[in-house]
Amino acid sequence: MPLLAQAAGSGITVEPHWYMALAAVLFAIGAAGLLLRRNALVMFMSIELMLNAVNLTFVAVDAGIGSLEGQISVLFVMVVAAAEVTVGLAIIVAVFRKRATASMDELSGLKG
Amino acid sequence: MDTVVWLIVALPLAGFLALLFFGRRLGEPVAGYVGSATVGLSFVLALVAALEFLGGGEDVHARTVELFEWIPSLGLSASFLWDPLSAMMTLVVTGVGTLIHVYSVGYMHGDPRFGRFFTYLNLFITSMLILVLGANFGILFVGWELVGLSSYLLISFWFEKPTAAAAGKKAFIVNRIGDFGFLIALMLIFAAFGSLDFAYVFENASATLSTGTATAIALLLLVGAAGKSAQLPLHVWLPDAMEGPTPVSALIHAATMVTAGVYMVARAGALFTLSPTAGAVVTTVGAATALFAATIAIGQRDIKRVLAYSTISQLGYMFMGVGAFAFVGGVFHLVTHAFFKALLFLGAGSVIHAIGGEQDMAKMGGLRKKVPVTFATMVVAWIAISGIPPFSGFWSKDEILASVFNRGGGYLLLWAVGIVTAGLTAFYMSRMMFLTFWGEPRWDAGVAPHESPRSMTIPLIALAGLATVGGLINTPWRPTLEHFLEPAFELVEQAHLPAGGTQIVLAIVSIAAGVIGILVAYQRYVVRDTALEEGGRWDTLLEGYHVDDFYGRTLVAPGKAAADALAFTADAKVVDGAVDGLGAVVGHIGRLLTKLQTGLVRNYGLGILAGAVAVILWLLVAGGAL
């Protein structure tokens, strides 16, 4: 595992599944944030957290199997996420100006 | 010569198309001239083409003109048959048609749909020519249906009148019943012969058909003929058809279209002669219709309805003739009847025209001096239909009655019916004449009767001439028509006339019947000056024995009830119910599912997450990891 960093001098080897576990934890935190919080900005940050958790699994697995495809995917995810943030933030700002709130629960106009 | 034959049909067709597109622009009277000229030219061509048979050239008996292949899979082609029988019919149709076209120019004067009228008349002539010239049952049927259509259009020509619109529908629907029988007969013929071609079918008829099949085919053809020719029990449409303009009544509902049934039976004579049963049925239907309609005619008040029932009665005679296999006699009566009945109708139209559209004989009387030409010509027709020699009706009616008599047995009874009917015919025609032209004037105040314009009287005079001498084309000692038609019936075993002495006795009996009818009517309506009868049994006659009511109650009312049940129960409740119900179910499900749409992003997110988890779990299970 030459690419994986080793804690210098500590003698502890960073195993690949540690990354996977970290990603899972990050993803779970993101999902929980998305489902439990009401503030649009916080929910947005949660989504970013989930995306980055996925990115982490991509590069970790890639490094493990010596492939590049995952890393390329990461680049795509980053680009899309950047665009999404731009659009999303603009929407949030527009909604806030109109409704004077950023609480997602109050934005239920499409309720059936 | 082949070109001439198809031109005979093409000319009225061209007239029809021209009038269809430019009739309104041509207007009055040019549209009438166009219609009359095309039909008149067609008559001249037919005359030229018919000379070929008169010339005595024994080699030419029939000529088939194939226009194009129509339905190759059935071996059907659009072709015309030019033989003496179809030539005879073509001459009657175009000849009488031309006279009635000319008459209509005067009669329809001032009608807002003048051009349309001639469009329909030309369509009718075209259709009728297709009918009589068709060389197979397929083309015959096309013409058959087309004349039905033009008859419908012309009966309800004044469709603003609800009665006229209803009469048109009635004629069409009653004819459909007949057409149904005709169609089944055509299917049976095709099943038996594999062809609908006249020449093939008639040549192989006796070799191919069993008596049973022949009877079935003949009786089904009779159903079709009865519908078109207004025979019992399908006669009810013809009296109502008088709602149409009078020239239409004369041309279609007296002279030509209604005789299509007679023509068809004569044409299919080779099939009818194979089944004595069918022949007897045709004769009986004819005799019954003749007597039945003649008695009804006695009680009519409307001058045109007298003539309508008279037409039904005379068609009954023609059916007696062709049913007794006296095909020449039947066709002969068809021709003479076309002359005198067209004359009677046109004369009646002239009378109606003269007194401002009144058709009720209660408001006529004493018109002799006011409309002298109409009166004189109608007297000729009256004597002709009453069977007084030497006028035309006598010769043809007598030939039929003599042929029926000569068959012997049960036919003697039918002959007696025919003689009684002859007496009744003379009586009701005399009643009509006396009530219209004799006695005191009874017309409404302010009506000034006047003779019709020349375009109307000239056709009357021409028809009067034909009604006078028309019978001489086939007298017992000079049967010109019989020789002329011989090639058309060479495959058929025709009825024979009795010996000369018997013929004279029979003629005297039938003349006596006619004279008695006229004298009784003279005594009653001129000497005793009886007014138009009313009440009691006369109302039964006026209503035609309430046949319409009977059909109304037994057929029309249940039919309407069934239609109502289908429309308002089966359709509105069952069909619409099923469709509406399905819509309601979908709506309910949708309304239930909208509960899922909470509008809360968190709920949607949870859904997505749960879905993702479910997919992963499934992949793990399917992959064998769990």
Phi and psi (nearest 5°) for B63? -140, 125
pLDDT digits (tens, 9 = 90+) for B95-126: 999 999 999 998 888 888 899 999 999 999 99
DSSP, collapsed to helix, strand or coil, labels residue B365 as coil
Nearest to A105 among B596, B600, B609 (CB): B600
User: Chain A residues with CB inside 8 Å of B606's CB?
Assistant: 35
The answer to whether B430 and B518 are in contact (CB under 8 A) is yes
Residue B370 C-alpha from the chain's centroid: 33
Tokens of B202: 């008639």
Note whether A108 contacts B606, CB cutoff 8 Å.
no
Pick from B379, B385, B278: nearest CA to B325:
B278
Nearest to B605 among A35, A108, A110 (CB): A35
Note whether A43 contacts B601, CB cutoff 8 Å.
yes
The answer to whether B31 and B114 are in contact (CB under 8 A) is yes
Pick from B125, B120, B109, B119: nearest CA to B40:
B125
Residue in A closest to B590 by C-alpha: A112
Residue by residue, DSSP assigns B180-191 as: HHHHHHHHHHHH
How far off is chain B from A50, nearest CA to CA, in Å?
12
How far off is chain B from A4, nearest CA to CA, in Å?
27
Q: According to CATH, what is the number of the domain A16-99?
A: 1.10.287.3510
Amino acid making up residue B17: L
Residue in B closest to A33 by C-alpha: B602
Nearest to A111 among B597, B606, B609 (CB): B597
Interatomic CA distance for residues B319 and B531, integer angstroms: 34
DSSP, collapsed to helix, strand or coil, labels residue B20 as helix
More confident residue, B496 or B615: B615
Residue by residue, DSSP assigns B387-412 as: T-TTSHHHHHHHHHHHHHHHH-TTHH
Note whether B605 contacts A109, CB cutoff 8 Å.
no
Note whether A112 contacts B598, CB cutoff 8 Å.
yes
User: Chain B residues with CB inside 8 Å of A31's CB?
Assistant: 605, 609
Residue B132 C-alpha from the chain's centroid: 13
User: Chain B residues with CB inside 8 Å of A110's CB?
Assistant: 597, 599
How far off is chain B from A111, nearest CA to CA, in Å?
4
Residue B518 C-alpha from the chain's centroid: 29
| Residues contacting residue B573 through CB under 8 Å, at least 6 positions apart | none
| Residue B71: strand pairing partners | B76
Pick from B478, B402, B517: nearest CA to B469:
B478
More confident residue, B57 or B334: B334
Question: Looking at residues B206-211, what average pLDDT do you find?
Answer: 87
DSSP, collapsed to helix, strand or coil, labels residue B475 as strand
pLDDT at A8 over 80: no
Q: Where are the domains of chain A?
A: 16-99
Residue-level length of chain B: 626
B82: which DSSP letter?
Answer: E
Q: Which chain B residues have any C-beta within 8 angstroms of a chain A C-beta?
A: 593-602, 605-606, 609
DSSP, collapsed to helix, strand or coil, labels residue B529 as coil
pLDDT for position B56: 58
Pairs across A and B, CB distance < 8 A = 34
Angle at B438 between CA B434 and CA B440, to 5 degrees: 130
Nearest to B594 among A35, A104, A112 (CB): A112
Interface test with B, best of A20, A29, A35 (most B CBs within 10 A): A35
How far off is chain B from A108, nearest CA to CA, in Å?
4
The answer to whether B92 and B128 are in contact (CB under 8 A) is no
Report the percentage of chain A scoring pLDDT > 70. 89
The answer to whether A104 and B600 are in contact (CB under 8 A) is yes
Note whether B602 contacts A36, CB cutoff 8 Å.
yes
B71: which DSSP letter?
Answer: E
In which band, very low, low, confident or very high, does the pLDDT at A2 lie, cut at 50, 70 and 90?
very low
Nearest to A111 among B593, B599, B606 (CB): B599
Note whether B605 contacts A110, CB cutoff 8 Å.
no
Phi and psi (nearest 5°) for B82? -110, 95
| Residues contacting residue A82 through CB under 8 Å, at least 6 positions apart | none
pLDDT digits (tens, 9 = 90+) for B523-579: 998 888 888 887 778 888 888 888 888 998 999 899 999 999 999 988 888 999 999
Report the percentage of chain B scoring pLDDT > 90. 59
How far off is chain B from A46, nearest CA to CA, in Å?
12
Tokens of B233: 């029990």
User: Chain B residues with CB inside 8 Å of A103's CB?
Assistant: none
Write down the pTM of the prediction: 0.79
Nearest to B599 among A34, A35, A110 (CB): A110
Interatomic CA distance for residues B232 and B177, integer angstroms: 13
Amino acid making up residue B45: L
How far off is chain A from B616, nearest CA to CA, in Å?
14
CB atoms within 10 A of CB B503: 17
How far off is chain B from A38, nearest CA to CA, in Å?
8
Residue in B closest to A106 by C-alpha: B600
Residue B152 C-alpha from the chain's centroid: 10
Amino acid making up residue B609: L
Pick from A7, A9, A24, A10: nearest CA to A60:
A24
In which band, very low, low, confident or very high, does the pLDDT at A10 lie, cut at 50, 70 and 90?
low
Note whether B599 contacts A43, CB cutoff 8 Å.
no
H-run or E-run covering B81: strand B76-82
Amino acid making up residue B115: G
More confident residue, B326 or B60: B326
pLDDT digits (tens, 9 = 90+) for B383-411: 999 988 889 989 999 999 999 999 888 89
Interatomic CA distance for residues B89 and B132, integer angstroms: 7
pLDDT digits (tens, 9 = 90+) for B78-95: 999 998 899 999 999 999
The answer to whether B355 and B362 are in contact (CB under 8 A) is no
Interatomic CA distance for residues A27 and B467, integer angstroms: 111
pLDDT for position B533: 80
| Residues contacting residue B256 through CB under 8 Å, at least 6 positions apart | B92, B93, B96, B97, B128, B338
pLDDT for position A1: 43
Note whether B597 contacts A43, CB cutoff 8 Å.
no
Q: Which chain A residues have any C-beta within 8 angstroms of a chain B C-beta?
A: 31, 34-36, 38, 43, 104-105, 107-112
Pick from B363, B263, B251, B344: nearest CA to B306:
B344
User: Chain A residues with CB inside 8 Å of B605's CB?
Assistant: 31, 34-35
**From residue A91, how far is each of A39, A87, A107, B416, B623 by CA, in Å?**
14, 6, 12, 105, 42
Note whether A35 contacts B606, CB cutoff 8 Å.
yes
Residue in B closest to A105 by C-alpha: B600
Interface test with A, best of B600, B604, B613 (most A CBs within 10 A): B600
In which band, very low, low, confident or very high, does the pLDDT at A112 lie, cut at 50, 70 and 90?
low
Nearest to A34 among B597, B600, B605 (CB): B605
Residue in A closest to B592 by C-alpha: A112
How far off is chain B from A66, nearest CA to CA, in Å?
24
Phi and psi (nearest 5°) for B377? -70, -35
